[in-house]
Amino acid sequence: MDGIHVNTTPAEQSPLKRLGSLVRRLAINAGYELDRVNSGAVLRLARDAGMSQTSLSKLLAGTRMPDAKYLAGLAAAIGADPIDLFVEAEILPARTRSQPEHNAVASPSITPDAVADSWGVDEFGREMVHAMFERLTRHPETNEATPGSAAADG
């Protein structure tokens, strides 16, 4: 197999590889010259996203998912929606963007595990759902979990 390269389609790539490729493409479209050597684009994008250059490099290489607290900043820096990134990278199914029904009756609390189960996601997707719940339930001024939230409950 030495010297033979096998091309993989996006569906054959790991979720992290797909996400890294997607972030790279969107960053380039947003003006970050990631394809130019020594352009400083990775450092600039990391700074704009509020994350370390090492974490961003690992994400772009498809080897590590960044901490959930950086996803909103990264998505904003590349002009994307965080959920859309996960849907397009096939980490979350497309139906996650469905509009909730509005009822006059209060609905029961929902847990990250219940969401992951209803979406039918794998273990990686389940971790992402937990990370999103944690991020969404933090109080913006204090960065503390809101009482009664999934993050506060552990």
Q: Confirm whether 44 is domain-assigned.
A: yes
Predicted pLDDT at 45 = 93
Q: How many domains does the structure of the chain reveal?
A: 2
Question: From first to last of its 154 residues, what are the pLDDT tens digits of the chain?
Answer: 344 433 445 556 788 899 999 999 999 999 988 877 777 889 999 999 999 999 999 999 999 888 888 888 999 999 998 888 888 888 888 765 555 555 555 566 778 888 888 788 888 888 888 888 887 777 555 555 444 444 444 4
Residue 138, domain extent: 92-96+107-154
Predicted pLDDT at 12 = 67
The answer on 112 and 65 residing in a single domain is no
Q: Confirm whether 3 is domain-assigned.
A: no
The answer on 115 and 58 residing in a single domain is no
Which CATH number belongs to the domain containing residue 34 in this structure? 1.10.260.40
The answer on 115 and 77 residing in a single domain is no
At residue 138, the 3 state secondary structure works out as strand
Q: Confirm whether 23 is domain-assigned.
A: yes
φ, ψ of residue 58 in degrees (nearest 5): -65, -35
Which residue has tokens 């352009």? 39
Q: Confirm whether 30 is domain-assigned.
A: yes
The answer on 12 and 76 residing in a single domain is yes
Distances (CA, A) of 130 to 80, 81, 120, 123: 21, 18, 14, 11
Q: Report d(CA 117, CA 93) in Å as an integer.
A: 12
The answer on 59 and 13 residing in a single domain is yes
The answer on 115 and 53 residing in a single domain is no
Q: Confirm whether 2 is domain-assigned.
A: no
Q: Confirm whether 145 is domain-assigned.
A: yes
Predicted pLDDT at 129 = 83
The answer on 154 and 114 residing in a single domain is yes
Rg of the chain on CA atoms, in Å: 18
